[in-house]
Amino acid sequence: MELRWLSAFVAVAEELNFRRAAERLLVAQPAISQQIMNLERDLGVKLFERTKRSVRLTDAGAAFLQPCQQVLSGVESAGRIARNAGTGEYGTIRIGFNAGFTTDDMVTLVRIVRRDHPHLELVFDSTRTTSEILKLLHEDRLDIALVGGPVTGKGLRRRNLGKVKLGVLLPDSHPLSATEVINVEQLATENLILVDALPGWSIRRLIQDALERGGVTTATVTAVADATTMIAFVAAGIGIGFASLNTTTLTPRNLTLRPFNDVEATPISAVWNQANESPALNTVITAIDKNLVSGARQSR
């Protein structure tokens, strides 16, 4: 069974006229008749009752019409999707991001993609450190990532999205919540809620470096496994934590983020593997260029 036979059948069934069906398909009328004969022979049933004056569907033809229309519509849709995929409007993009530094940028990007490119599917992996994310990009297990901190690695391309300061996270009821900017000396008597240390660059390393530079020895440190637990402990009044000022969408009610004065601003980047030539990825990169890169130097 060939698609052209189905096209001929649907045209004749809808026109109930072989001549008009041939004109519609831009073929000779004998060719339409031959295709209908081939289809009837293949199915083993008669699809039309034909006289010199009229053409009408048999019961078999009437039952066959809707499935044929659906098949042809599906083929047309598949072709359209394939063509659009070549323009970057269809496809799946796997995105990694540092929840501790780039959440607000990620929220902005998702809103833009959903609005302007609704047929792109975004799949997220937010449970990684920067070094893990870069490794996944190299292994083609992610398409693009928004990360905080230094970006190194052969074969990676990036956009510099700017820099963001680290903030101190504390309950609204804490005396420091009214302070416009918090200095390291003000942490000397505080219980700090810090995520377990990881190799390489991390928020914990930034805090510890700041404490050492300021000569501050804190009373206590409570180590937790992840940022979610850190936020819960801060909300419970167990201590104070730290988060990027670019993660306001994660800050619960009754908690406040105040700038931390003694840590340098952290660079934020969009990163991808230069070997990835997906049109869908190019669409996302264009969206980042238009909406997230603001006065920042673009690095290629």
Q: 84 with 129: CB under 8 angstroms?
A: no
Provide the pLDDT for residue 300: 35
Q: Binning pLDDT at 50, 70 and 90, where does residue 296 land?
A: very low
Q: Classify domain 166-259 at the CATH topology level.
A: D-Maltodextrin-Binding Protein; domain 2 (3.40.190)
> At residue 297, does pLDDT exceed 50?
no
Give CA angle at 157 (156, 161), nearest 5°: 130
Domain map (residue ranges) of the chain: 3-86, 91-148+277-291, 166-259
Q: 186 with 177: CB under 8 angstroms?
A: no
> At residue 128, does pLDDT exceed 80?
no
If you compute the radius of gyration of the chain from its CA atoms, what whole number of angstroms results? 31
**Average of per-residue pLDDT values in the chain:** 87
Q: What is the CATH number of domain 91-148+277-291?
A: 3.40.190.10
* DSSP single-letter state for residue 264: P
How confident is the model over 171-185, as a mean pLDDT? Answer: 93
pLDDT tens-digit readout, 53-101: 889 999 999 999 999 999 988 888 777 667 656 778 888 899 998 877 8
More confident residue, 283 or 98: 283
Same fold yes or no, 91-148+277-291 and 166-259:
yes
Q: Binning pLDDT at 50, 70 and 90, where does residue 199 land?
A: low
Q: What CATH architecture is 3-86?
A: Orthogonal Bundle (1.10)
57 forms bridges with which residues in the sheet?
48
